[in-house]
Amino acid sequence: MMRVLVTAGGTRARVDDVRWIGNSSTGRFGARIVRELLGRGAKVVHLASPQAEMPLARTIDFAGAWEDELGQCREASSRWAEWATRYREERFDTPDDYGERLRELLRREAFDMVVLAAAVSDYAPMPTTGKISSREDELTLRLRRVPKFIAQARDWAPKAYLVGFKLLSGVAEEHLVDVARDAGRANRVDVTVANDWRLLQSGCHTIHLVRDGEATETFSERTVDIADRLVDRLWCWAEEKRRG
């Protein structure tokens, strides 16, 4: 049975006791990846933010078409009940929290594949104790650079098939792929999944699977289920690495 760690959702960097700086990650694509992995028989640990979509959870809007939603939940219940026996959730909140939880999991458990889809803040404020006054017309925050935990993952899980993600916005495809390839080398991952934010927001989510020394593979939501295709490729490559 393949053992997989998937991280998803976005970190929240504290400004003071009540405010934080975050990002727009919903964890939705990470949840899709988890479902695809469970459907293939994997044992999955899901390290996610509190706001991230959970792969085996659903809400019903009783102000809308709740009967259809309830029917879908009933249809999925038996399948999800079996999946739940191979699924575990872990949580993170701040960037430092994410790094600590990731290190603990990778050092403690032997994963065949690690999918690092979480959106981790690049910078975090120097937190203030209490609540910053709202009387000032302007507010200046001092930020510190957050360590690149993905670059340390290879040291924590030397045998795992590592999957990184790179997100840019409104750039040429060639540039996106070049940046993803450079990131993959720097972070020592096996493959980098490159995305463009504007395409994602337009409803045409497109991913590029970038591996050093290999041809780039591209899948678009316009024509295929990209989560299904992504997991197919990752599963194949991880199996090849596991067999040596």
CA angle 50, 52, 53 (to 5 degrees): 130
Strands 123-125 and 143-145 come out as: antiparallel
- Distance between CA 101 and CA 117 in Å, rounded? 15
- Distance between CA 210 and CA 225 in Å, rounded? 18
* Number of compact structural domains in the chain: 1
The pLDDT value given to residue 134: 86
SS3 67: helix
- Distance between CA 89 and CA 43 in Å, rounded? 12
Strands 191-196 and 161-168 come out as: parallel
Task: Give the tens place of pLDDT for each residue, 22-77.
Answer: 998 999 999 999 999 999 999 999 999 999 999 988 777 777 777 777 777 777 77
Domain span at 9? 3-132+139-243
Mean pLDDT of 182-197: 97
Distance of alpha carbon 205 from the chain centroid: 15
Considering the entire predicted model, what is its pTM?
0.92
Amino acid at position 185, single letter: R
Task: Give the tens place of pLDDT for each residue, 103-155.
Answer: 999 999 999 999 999 999 999 998 889 988 888 888 888 899 999 999 999 99
Query: Are 46 and 3 within 8 A, CB to CB?
Result: no
CATH number of domain containing 204: 3.40.50.10300
φ, ψ of residue 176 in degrees (nearest 5): -60, -45
Closest-CA residue to 45 (of 93, 92, 97): 92
